[in-house]
Amino acid sequence: MGLGKTIQSICILASKHFERAERHKATGSLDTVHLPSLIICPPTLTGHWQQEIKTYATNLRPLIYTGAKAERERLLSSFTKYDAVIMSYEIARNDIDALSEIDWHYCILDEGHIIKNGKTKLTKAIKTLRAVHRLILSGTPIQNNVLELWSLFDFLMPGFLGSEKAFNDRFGKPIAASRDAKSSSKEQEAGALALEALHKQVLPFLLRRLKEDVLDDLPPKIIQDYYCELSPLQKQLYDDFSTSQAKQLVAGEVSAGGSAKGKPQHVFQALQYLRKLVNHPALVLKPDVPHHQAIMAKMEQSGGNLRDIVNAPKLGALRSVARSLPPRCLLTHRSPRQILLDCGIGTSSTATEAESSLGAVSQHRVLIFCQLKQMLDIVENDLFRAVMPSVTYMRMDGTTDVSKRHAVVQTFNADPSIDCLLLTTHVGGLGLNLTG
């Protein structure tokens, strides 16, 4: 969330490693012998951690532990030569047998809420690591229920909050019951008391920052919601779905209230279909879809094309919006093309020859997040390349090599001539410092 978790952690590592080295020089004690520290983070952030350490802690020697199994086995023997070993959660889980045999000075979990479920193989593996000190960095330590907090503290200080069952009985159940809309006054009181007791127990071990505490220099964030109607093609596909057998199956499962045997797969499939439909009809209009040939033939007769942006209002509608935006403005549910035009991006035809000769760039830059990689393909091919070829952009999704992701972020931050950065929410939603 940009509140300084990474920098503060690096400062801790730099100071503690320096102090330990100085004590070892003075005493030669085995208790002060050099120990490497372990940093576990999402794969997108490994390069970021290495770069930040090199920038702000010149006394630390970082190593990114990655690559094929043979390469990682070679690196294992060199851990003692480094101060900070950086790796992803997946690699930590895969190599946990070797990693758990090493004594670490610090073990830092970046985006540590990943171990919120104490029953997963990943969480169980991470908790076997041996370290003198343990830290968890997270902007969202609790995402669903209070029981997730127990798993985090079970890594930090095993036994501090008791067993999982005892914690759930004492805190989890009363707090959950108090938040039920039908809860009684007695349940609400019990939940409030449990929450207060939990706060007193864990708050001494939590360092929490709010944005208003550290981001005084930033202007206020402005959120504007713009809604667009479905295109005729989207409406047709939606109407077809509403009268289909799939819709009837979904309605039956919903009316059953979850009492039907098996998992409600049809519900999730229907939601996924509708989500794709409102993004772009090309995501759902496949050859196996009923009436596909008829729809395509009708479109060809009218001179249209499935890839035309008129079929996806998110790409081409809402041209009547005002052309002046504040420098920092978050817009949702609005035509990306219109947003870009409002920001002065992709309007090279209106630029003067003098501006072009000076290499002028837009004062605004845009991040475009998509949940689906296929939607990024559409934005890139059907919007940028086909309609707005003057827009300069970079892209980062799950197919981007992990070792190259940090370079993409660095390039975008440093080069103002790059107008846009395309990202999936999965890759771009964790820990990236995108300053533009």
CATH code: domain 343-428 is: 3.40.50.300
Q: What is the pLDDT of residue 339?
A: 62
Q: Is the Cβ–Cβ distance between 125 and 117 less than 8 Å?
A: no
Contact yes or no for 30/76 (Cβ under 8 A): no
A 10 A CB-CB count for 366 gives 19
Q: How far apart are CA 230 and CA 311, in angstroms?
A: 8
**Range in 14-28, 62-76, 302-316 the model is least confident about:** 302-316
Q: Bigger pLDDT: 255 or 125?
A: 125
**384 has pLDDT over 90:** no
Q: Is 5-214 a domain of CATH 3.40.50.1100?
A: no
Numbered ranges of CATH 3.40.50.10810 in the chain = 5-214
Closest to 403 in 3D by CA, of 96, 71, 98, 74: 71
For the segment 265-280, what is each residue's pLDDT rounded down to a tens digit? 678 888 888 999 988 9
pLDDT in tens, 175-225: 999 988 888 999 999 999 999 999 999 999 998 877 777 666 667 778 877
CA gap 23, 17 in Å, rounded: 10
What is the distance, to the nearest Å, from the Cα of residue 304 to the centroid of all Cα atoms in its chain? 37
Number of other residues whose CB lies within 10 A of the CB of residue 284: 18
Tell me the C-alpha distance between 434 and 262, whole Å.
43
For residue 226, name the pLDDT band (cuts at 50, 70, 90). confident
Range(s) within the chain of domains with CATH label 3.40.50.300: 343-428
pTM of the full predicted structure?
0.74
Are 143 and 113 in contact by the 8 Å Cβ rule? The answer is yes
The least confident of 203-217, 288-302, 337-351, 394-408 is 337-351
Query: What confidence score (pLDDT) does residue 321 get?
Result: 32
